[in-house]
Amino acid sequence: MNMSISRRIARRAAGLPLVLVLVIALVIGTSCSGKRITKANVDEVTEGMSKKQVESILGPPTSLTTEDFVIMKKTTYVYRQGKDSVTIVFKDDKVQSKESTLSD
């Protein structure tokens, strides 16, 4: 973002209630980063894909957990969007499974 635009936004935000500033920041942050999760793009994710491939389709996950076992590494990506969620499990950094509550 242009630095002069950032400064103007900051000056205007100084007079707004904190809650409104946070809502504006959330909307701007959500629209600039991450992708909207749809059934169509979740369907593009297939077994064996890398994390990088998944993130190129769905964007960064809402949350992730990693467990390192002696014989393998398991990472779980969770994408949340409203009441819906998508869970993708990676085994040794490749998609092993996915679950979604998205409807058609």
State the average pLDDT over residues 16-39: 58
- Residues 67, 47: Cα–Cα separation, whole Å: 19
Amino acid identity at 70: V
Among residues 70, 71, 66, which one has the least CA distance to residue 90? Answer: 66
pLDDT digits (tens, 9 = 90+) for 33-46: 456 789 999 999 99
Give the model's confidence band at 28: pLDDT under 50 very low, under 70 low, under 90 confident, else very high.
very low
Mapped onto helix, strand or coil, the DSSP state of residue 77 is strand
Q: Which distant-in-sequence residues (6+ apart) come within 8 Å of 104 by Cβ?
A: 39
Distance of CA 25 to the CA centre of its chain: 16
Q: Is the pLDDT of residue 69 over 80?
A: yes
In the chain, where the domains are located:
1-33, 36-104
Instruction: Name the CATH code of domain 36-104 (choices 2.60.120.10, 1.25.40.10, 3.50.50.60, 3.30.1450.10).
Output: 3.30.1450.10
Helix count and strand count (H, E) for the chain: 4, 4
State the average pLDDT over residues 51-78: 94
